[in-house]
Chains A and B, each alone.
Chain A
Amino acid sequence: MDTVGTLFMPPEGSTFAGEIDSLFYFIVYASMVIFGIVLFGMLFFGLRYRHSRHIAEATTPGISHNTKLELVWSIIPTVLVLIVFFWGFHVFMKMNVVPKDAMEIKVTGQKWFWSFDYPEGVTTVNELVVPAGIPVKLLMSSQDVIHSFFVPDFRVKMDVLPNRYSVTWFEAKRPGIYNLFCAEFCGDGHSEMIGKVKVVNEREYAVWLEEGTSQGEGLSPEQLGEQLFRSKACITCHSAEGQRLIGPPVNGIFGHDVVLKSGQKVIVDENYLRQSILEPQADIVAGYDPVMPTYQGLLNDRQIDALVAYIKSLK
């Protein structure tokens, strides 16, 4: 199994990755030939006609042009780039025409995490679980600024816009875990906006969906909260160990006063935490930027309870 990729390219994780790589390497080899000609010409002429090889000063031949030669070096590159253009267009269309039988997942980008909504009602954050061998259509939009959905191993990239839907698709070839990056600069947490695409086989996928609809049973609220703190990407901006990240740390704050941007002091209680999760712009802690998106719709009541319980438990 190809897990390393080639010198330049990462492993080929999607069905069309191979076609893109073939074109990529065609351009690499053609470029190497052209570069070789230029380099050879430079070095050969430079050495052959260098000044020290001339005994006396002399004029040089007045070659002003050579129509045949110029036609050759205009036409051959033109033909080559036309081949590359049509080839690139052909593969591009395949990458843009979504197969009719594709399953659809809604992707939402926001500062600074990805969320995924499945037709079955499951919602995940920063983890896109898909079955191998089935085309997946992604319907994408952003809550704030422009993001870009990029999975290098799939050779898939598409901007995620705040005012319209954008669409892309892929079919993963085999189970595995692949990196998902945000490729459009979106602010302080841009490089933390990293998710995973988890490709599983069809049977595992069905099981996962079923578990997803009944998440977290058998866990204490604190345990579930700890899990959600990670899986819902709170951890991208908030430390549970006291570090100052993009947002304030969450440990040891419960029951204490916090100074807001307005200068007002409030006490951190259950309602303060709940409001900060659902309406993060309402009370901004002094010294931080109002950049957190709302989690309205991403968490149900039970999950909010669990997160509050977890934060309460942190010392």
Chain B
Amino acid sequence: MNTMPEKHYLNEKRGWKSWLFTLDHKRIGILYLYGIMAAFLVGGVFAMLVRLELLHPGRDLMDAKTYNQFFTLHGAVMIFLFIIPSIPAALGNFVLPQMLGAKDVAFPKLNLASWYIYVVGALVAIYSIYAGGVDTGWTFYTPYSTTTSTSVVAMTLGAFILGFSSIFTGLNFIVTIHKMRAPGMTWFKMPLFIWGLYATAIIQVMATPVLGITLLLLIMERVLAVGIFDPAMGGDPVLFQHFFWFYSHPAVYIMILPGMGIISELIATFSQKKIFGYKAIAFSSLAIAFISFLVWGHHMFVSGQSQLASMIFSFLTFLVGIPSGIKVFNWVATMYKGIIRFDTPMLYALAFLFLFTIGGLTGIFLGTLATDVHLHDTYFVVAHFHYVMMGGTVMAFLGGIHFWWPKMWGRMFNKKWALLSWLLIFIGFNMTFFTQFILGTKGMPRRYYNYLDQYQPLHAFSSYGSWVLGLGFLIMAVYLFYSIKRGPVAGNNPWGSLTFEWKSSSPPPVANFETEPILKHGPYDYDKIIPERTYS
């Protein structure tokens, strides 16, 4: 029978001050978790409203102006407030020092500061809704964004501030990984989630400043009328696209690489098996991080960019796809001769493999010059993006949440409800987004408030899917919150995993470990050790 530890990071100190002034990476991770879950709820509600409006052509419940603001807010909230900080700042903060066998991150005060910067950035971004909303799409393309009457400045200022939060987290993680590994933990004995976070942190530190500069130039143009992007003032609108994608393409790898790290942990743990091709997975993360800086022009094949540039960007795009493919094969091969348990986190890992593979393969159509001309700016792109970001990152995030949930709170969620919720999310997701591949190839442009009758049945089916998806998330919210106080006690190592964070109590003590841990085996040595599962 498992019992809760007497003292742990959640009850050592109490009261709201102990949370708002905490320097404990675990508590900061939880603070981030609340922030991003709130953002996910807000972004999700906008998505449901957008899908509801698209049930029929013409007006269902809002006018074009409102619709344009809603899809912009859906995108901006989900990208800047949810998905970028989701895995690194929430789960990464909670897990990374524990996985390394460290007491905390290298700069705990900077860590707390980055959460406050996140909150300030989020508030400024949300203020834009009161100040008239934003209707540019999350991409802020000029000269539309410099001429529209909506409050673009507040939203871009919010994204600008959020960028610093992202940079600080990245910086903190890089130093922590270099300097604070436990004795015996060499680079190639680090869990692969750490490699994923490391590659992510490099991109965060190197690419985010470019977004900052770009958004600052946009604000200068709007406020001070300095002509940079708007041709009416002598600027070049395509320059904005180059700047924007120079950050935003690497940024999609900020979103997916940590997710890939989680998948490595889940597949190894629930197959009770040494990860196949450890070095291939670790190095492919770094390869993706570096090549990701060289592919931004594949967003611009029909923008008027030169054909030579387009050809080079197309070629490099295929290069960045190969390491992702190799990872997928490695994960499947890890399952070979394992002892496989279909616990909730593993279900999400399998959903990731299924959906991310579709997301990756459909990327080939968009990286190929001739087919991209037809598919660019249609629902095909929307579907591809959601398969990679939601089918990929969000599935990995949900897998990670369920995996580390008992470590965070010491208690287990209800697995039957979790199975139902997983099933609804998986089915609802495919209903919503696979349909959009067909809408796109049939020529339905994205960001359309109204559409021709011929697209109505597919749009309606996609909207029905969004309701199934929403119901799945609703159930998840209920059983997860319920389990925090009332779930059965999970024990130190409910899944039988070999990485460091499972050696301490659940929830862990403030200093993470009672005594400084020393690494005696690799993170995936399931050929030598059978870890005991404290919960079944």
Answer whether residue A104 sits at the interface, using C-beta atoms and an 8 A cutoff: no
User: By the criterion CB–CB under 8 Å, are B149 and A184 in contact?
Assistant: no
Inter-chain contacts of A182 with B (CB < 8 A): 445
Answer whether residue B436 sits at the interface, using C-beta atoms and an 8 A cutoff: no
- Contact A42 B144, CB 8 Å, known A95-B370, A155-B374: no
Q: Contact partner of B274 among A60, A85, A95, CB < 8 A?
A: A60
Q: Which of A38, A82, A155, A188 has the most CB of B within 10 A?
A: A38
**Residues 43-63 of chain A: 1 if any B CB is under 8 Å from the residue's CB, otherwise 0?**
001100111001001111111
User: By the criterion CB–CB under 8 Å, are A89 and B314 in contact?
Assistant: yes
Q: Contact partner of B443 among A145, A181, A189, CB < 8 A?
A: A181
Interface size class of B (residues with CB under 8 A): 35 or more
Answer whether residue B310 sits at the interface, using C-beta atoms and an 8 A cutoff: yes
Answer whether residue A78 sits at the interface, using C-beta atoms and an 8 A cutoff: yes
A189 to B135, CA, bound (A): 12
User: By the criterion CB–CB under 8 Å, are B277 and A184 in contact?
Assistant: no
Answer whether residue A314 sits at the interface, using C-beta atoms and an 8 A cutoff: no
> What does DSSP make chain A's interface, helix, strand, loop or mixed?
mixed
Residues from 497 to 535 in B contacting A, C-beta threshold 8 Å: 525-530
Q: Could you tell me the distance in whole angstroms from the C-beta of A266 to the nearest C-beta in chain B?
A: 22
**Residues 79-116 of chain A: 1 if any B CB is under 8 Å from the residue's CB, otherwise 0?**
00110110111111101100000000000000000000
Q: Could you tell me the distance in whole angstroms from the C-beta of B320 to the nearest C-beta in chain A?
A: 11
User: By the criterion CB–CB under 8 Å, are B340 and A45 in contact?
Assistant: yes
**Residues 180-221 of chain A: 1 if any B CB is under 8 Å from the residue's CB, otherwise 0?**
011111111111101000000000000000000000000000
Q: Could you tell me the distance in whole angstroms from the C-beta of A286 to the nearest C-beta in chain B?
A: 14
Answer whether residue B337 sits at the interface, using C-beta atoms and an 8 A cutoff: yes
Q: Could you tell me the distance in whole angstroms from the C-beta of B192 to the nearest C-beta in chain A?
A: 13
Answer whether residue B339 sits at the interface, using C-beta atoms and an 8 A cutoff: yes
Q: Contact partner of A162 among B231, B370, B377, CB < 8 A?
A: B231
**Residues 105-131 of chain B: 1 if any A CB is under 8 Å from the residue's CB, otherwise 0?**
000000000000000000000000000
Report how many A-B pairs have Cβ atoms within 8 Å: 259
Residues from 269 to 317 in B contacting A, C-beta threshold 8 Å: 271-274, 276-280, 302-304, 307, 310-311, 314-315
User: By the criterion CB–CB under 8 Å, are B237 and A163 in contact?
Assistant: yes
Pick from A19-27, A129-137, A227-235, A300-308 the stretch touching chain B. Answer: A19-27
A163 to B234, CA, bound (A): 9
Inter-chain contacts of A65 with B (CB < 8 A): 276-280
Answer whether residue A31 sits at the interface, using C-beta atoms and an 8 A cutoff: yes
User: By the criterion CB–CB under 8 Å, are A183 and B303 in contact?
Assistant: no
Answer whether residue B474 sits at the interface, using C-beta atoms and an 8 A cutoff: no
User: By the criterion CB–CB under 8 Å, are A78 and B340 in contact?
Assistant: no
Inter-chain contacts of B143 with A (CB < 8 A): 144-146, 162
Answer whether residue B5 sits at the interface, using C-beta atoms and an 8 A cutoff: no
Inter-chain contacts of A92 with B (CB < 8 A): 307, 310-311, 369-370, 373
Answer whether residue A10 sits at the interface, using C-beta atoms and an 8 A cutoff: yes
Residue in chain A with minimal CB distance to B373: A157
Q: Could you tell me the distance in whole angstroms from the C-beta of A299 to the nearest C-beta in chain B?
A: 24
Inter-chain contacts of A46 with B (CB < 8 A): 335, 340, 342, 350
Q: Could you tell me the distance in whole angstroms from the C-beta of A284 to the nearest C-beta in chain B?
A: 11
- Contact A150 B377, CB 8 Å, known A62-B274, A74-B326: yes
Inter-chain contacts of B368 with A (CB < 8 A): 23, 27, 84-85, 87-88
Answer whether residue B358 sits at the interface, using C-beta atoms and an 8 A cutoff: yes
Q: Contact partner of B374 among A20, A96, A163, A190, CB < 8 A?
A: A20
Inter-chain contacts of B378 with A (CB < 8 A): 183
A42 to B270, CA, bound (A): 13
List the interface of chain B (C-beta within 8 A of A): 64-65, 68, 135-137, 141, 143-144, 147-149, 231-232, 236-238, 271-274, 276-280, 302-304, 307, 310-311, 314-315, 318, 321-322, 325-326, 328-329, 332-333, 335-342, 350, 353-354, 357-358, 361-362, 364-365, 367-374, 376-378, 437-438, 441-443, 445-452, 525-530
Which 8 residue pairs are nearest across A and B when measured between Cβ atoms?
A: A152-B443, A62-B527, A163-B231, A88-B368, A92-B369, A91-B370, A191-B448, A45-B335
- Given A91-B370, A189-B64, 5 more A-B residue pairs with CB atoms under 8 Å apart are A60-B339, A65-B279, A144-B147, A150-B443, A163-B231
